[in-house]
Structure 1
Amino acid sequence: MELPSSKPKVSVCVVTYNQAGFIRECLQSLVDQKTNFFFEVIVGDDASTDNTGDIAQEFADAYPGLVKLIRHKTNVGPTRNYLAVHQMAMGDYVSHIDGDDCAMPGKLQAQADLLDQRMDISFTVHAVKVIDTDKKIERSKNFPIQGSLHDLLNLGTYFVHSSVMYRKCNEFVHDPAAGEIVDYFFHIERASWGDIYFDDRILGGYRIHEGGISKSLKDREMLEVCYENAFDRALSFGIDFAVVQSARLKRRMAFAISAFMMGEKGAYKRKVFLSDNDYPYATGKHRALHWSRSVPVLMQIYMRVRNAQSNRG
């Protein structure tokens, strides 16, 4: 890394909460990055109740000017923590990484080089290795190397959030009164500025562990509202209503199936329901489930068929 200048080329934003068992590996993988430019690492600790903050402080003390720590005194929630870190970023490019994930050697240089070379790209993502396993999360043959906002709406998030490095060309504004928002909202926002490039190189480690996602009905319903807000945001960019509504209904169907799998039959019926206005934009499968929503055995057959197809794939 070059000697510190008045402005870093890349800002690495790390968000963390109660990740004492992982944050050291994450931060070490970042300070060890070799680059031909100056970068900064900004850590947002959301008032962890374990020693996550203390470990992050160790790095801030050991690497002054490189590692900067925002240590919230009270828990502000994931969205406000995320925004606090990303709004502090001074780099031309901003890399996001969750505190339980890590960067492979060469990650920052590779992604910055790509953004230097391709002005039509708003952000770049990459393949990852699942930590402590032999598994990898790579680009499916159905996913584009260079994708657009339309692809993001049609496919959903087809990459790991901790692999994102984006061009900081606009200020992201979010009203805290609007509540929590999901990663997908940020991706839609940035995809409105330019394309998404999927680098097939494995440049990061991604951790899958218990406790990462709440399974309570209340939290999942809050997540649904977050996605609805993201689709509304896409409409505000002038994306065709039919494209957005089709994507919206695909997501609603996914939430409906999740509710069914959790044994919440009433929630399933509500979520799979299609209004007259929705019906033209729904898939054939969604329409079939809508009409058969009061006959659970048909949903069970659908799930068996879907699982069989997945296993063959």
Structure 2
Amino acid sequence: MSSNPDSEIMVSVNCVTFNHKDYIRQALDSFLMQKTNFEFEILVHDDASTDGTGEILREYEKKYPGKVLPLIQTENQYSQGIDNISGAFNFPRARGKYIFMCDGDDYWISPDKMQKQVDYMESHPDCTLCIHSARIELVGKALTEGQMRPYCGNRVISPEEIVDKSSGYAMSSMAFPSRIVKNLPDYYVECPVGDTPIQMIAASEGYGYYFDEPMSGYRVGVAGSWTMEGKQGDYARKQQVYYERMKKVYELYDQATGGRLREAIKSAEKRTYYHTMVNTRQFKEILNPDYKKYYKELTPRTRFFIQMEYRTPGLYGFLRRKFLNQ
């Protein structure tokens, strides 16, 4: 970690947290362990946590003045309708040339992560999104599902691939020039998730690069996370609303990019719809030949259980209760 307070800030770490008391120390320590030849700042937005996360942030702020810069809300902003906290509160105060993303329940593994990604973007100024693979950690499970690995081998990612990708990117892997989020488009504000519109902006401004190295950890199943909250209540309705909102986002994005990425956008929208059908087990649509491309993108494990649930629902229910604990 560089330690000259008078140096220009190269990187702003963007961390959004809510009730991450059990995880936030690991996240902050993983940022602070970075070995760099430049200065960086750590911007943390705490959305009025009730579990003591704010106290931990104040502790780090005192220990690392000018380095750890928390913004601790007294009222939960997400509940007020602000979906994309980063764009509303952290991006405007970022001083770095680059922004690195990592939520408070995730963490970085490699102490060289920041330097590697900055070095690439510095030598390739047209690169507007730099990512890598991530290690998946299932909270409360003894085993993980391996890596979040969208590609095999280091490689350039075209704008079309960023928009129309069969596998997601770990937010904890994302880095990009801060200039691309200085003036956020309408589709960013409309989007129900924060990482997707950033990737869309990056695709409209340049291209991506992928390091095939797990330099961060991605936790799945954290209580209170966007994914877990989405499974509460009327799940089918929430999935429908999610698709409708994403459909609007893709329409706005197509307008903003002048139709340049239209085919990729259409496919991405179709995939989003298909995944909502998978999530709500609409078998007529899941097995519709029109969506064969997206069915084949599902993991073998997911396809196996879809077929079992569809063909032998009684057996599937028994096995799920007895072994899967889902």
Structure 1 and Structure 2 fold alike (TM over 0.5)? yes
Which residue does the alignment assign to 2:33? 32
CA contact (8 A) 1:124 1:165 kept: yes
After superposition, what is the alpha-carbon deviation per residue over 1:145-195, rounded to whole angstroms, capped at 9, x for unaligned?
211221123225532111001012232425698474442122111121111
Structure 2: gaps (5+ residues): 296-305, 314-326
Instruction: Specify the code of the residue in structure 2 equivalent to 1:66.
Output: K
Alignment of 1:42-53 (within 5 A): 42-53=43-54
Q: Could you state the TM-score of these two structures normalised by the residue count of structure 1? A: 0.78
Is the counterpart of residue 188 in structure 1 residue 192 in structure 2? no
Amino acid at match of 1:7: E
Q: How does 1:37-76 map to 2 (within 5 A)?
A: 37-76=38-77
Q: Which residue of 1 aligns with 2:238?
A: 219
The 3 A distance-change label for structure 1 pair 226 and 54 is farther
Q: Which moved more, 1:172-181 or 1:81-90?
A: 172-181
Q: Which residue of 2 aligns with 1:128?
A: 134
Q: Write the distance in 2 (CA, Å) between the matches of 1:96 and 1:108.
A: 11
TM-aligned CA deviation for residue 72 of structure 1: 1.2
Aligned to 2:176: 166
CA distance in 1, matches of 2:118, 2:261: 32
| Cα drift, residue 210 of structure 1 | 4.5
Residue 203 and residue 38 in structure 1: after superposition, are their counterparts in 2 closer, same or farther (change >3 A)?
same
Is 1:155–2:160 an aligned residue pair?
no
The answer on 1:202 being equivalent to 2:214 is yes
The answer as to whether partners of 1:10 and 1:95 remain within 8 angstroms in 2 is: yes
Equivalent AA in structure 1 for residue 277 of structure 2: A
Cα contact 1:2–1:36 (8 A) shared by 2: no
Q: Indicate how the Cα distance of structure 1 residues 62 and 155 shifts in structure 2: closer, same or farther if over 3 A, else same.
A: same
Give the secondary-structure state (helix, strand or coil) at the position aligned to 1:207.
Answer: strand
- What is the Cα deviation at residue 8 of structure 1? 0.5
Q: Does residue 96 of structure 1 match 2:101?
A: yes
SS state of the match for residue 253, structure 1?
Answer: helix
User: Of the candidates 243, 249, 259, which is equivalent to residue 280 of structure 2?
Assistant: 259
The TM-score normalised by the length of structure 2 is 0.76
Q: Distance in 1 between matches of 2:292 and 2:56?
A: 52
Q: Which residue of 2 aligns with 1:138?
A: 149
Q: Please give the root-mean-square deviation of Cα atoms over the aligned residues, in Å.
A: 3.2
Paired residues of 2:129 and 2:176 also in contact (CA < 8 A): yes
Determine the C-alpha separation between the residues in 2 that align with 1:208 and 1:178: 25
CA distance in 2, matches of 1:229, 1:91: 31
Q: Which residue of 2 aligns with 1:85?
A: 90
Distance 1:174 1:107 in 2: 29
Deviates more, 1:150-159 or 1:191-200: 150-159
Match for 2:76: what amino acid?
A: N
Task: Note the C-alpha offset of 1:7.
Answer: 3.3
SS in 1 for 2:280: helix
Q: Would the alpha carbon gap of residues 2 and 117 (structure 1) be closer, same or farther in structure 2, given more than 3 Å must change?
A: farther
C-alpha change, 1:226 and 1:148, in structure 2 (3 Å) is: farther
Alignment pair present for 1:106 and 2:112? yes
Give CA-to-partner distance per residue, 1:223-275, whole Å, 9 cap, x none: 22342233124312133434322321122112112112xxxx5xx77x87x9x
Asked if residue 4 in structure 1 is aligned to residue 5 in structure 2, the reply is: yes
Q: 2:270 aligns with which of 249, 254, 258?
A: 249
Instruction: Give, as a single letter, the amino acid of the residue that structure 1 aligns with 2:267.
Output: S
Relative to structure 1, the CA distance from residue 297 to residue 117 in structure 2 (aligned partners, 3 Å threshold; closer, same or farther) is closer
What is the CA–CA distance in structure 1 between the aligned matches of 2:73 and 2:222, rounded to whole Å?
25
SS in 2 for 1:113: helix
Distance 1:163 1:177 in 2: 22
Tell whether the 8 Å contact from 2:96 to 2:178 is kept in structure 1 after alignment.
Answer: yes
Query: Distance between the aligned counterparts of 1:3 and 1:144, measured in 2?
Result: 33
Residues 191 and 246 of structure 2 are in contact (CA less than 8 Å); yes or no, is this contact kept in structure 1? no
> Residue type of the partner of 2:253?
A
1: CA distance between counterparts of 2:151 and 2:49? 36
